[in-house]
Amino acid sequence: VKIRLHPHAKARRAERGASETEVILAVEGGERFPAKLGRYGFRRNFAYNDVWRDRRHATKQVEAIAVEEDGWLVITVLVRFF
């Protein structure tokens, strides 16, 4: 399946602390759920065990919101640390 990142998603991914590989892995093997406006979300947890914004976290959750368009077009990326 073809997975592309919209320029908005690339910018958000970088500022929110996810790699492009993590976003692609979330779409390929993460939990799929319905999102607003006919979109889909893909969520996957990754072992992190590092510091993000001066706090140590064990897990990084990457959530990609995408539309089905010649494969998947990721339009934004959300990242949670816990």
> Tens digits of per-residue pLDDT, 42-79?
999 999 999 999 999 999 999 999 999 999 999 999 99
| Closest C-alpha among 71, 62, 68 to residue 14 | 62
Q: What is the pTM (predicted TM-score) of this model?
A: 0.94
- The mean of the pLDDT values for the chain is 97
51 and 36 Cβ atoms separated by less than 8 Å: no
- d(CA 24, CA 59) in angstroms, rounded, equals 17
Parallel/antiparallel/unpaired status of strands 31-34 and 40-52: antiparallel
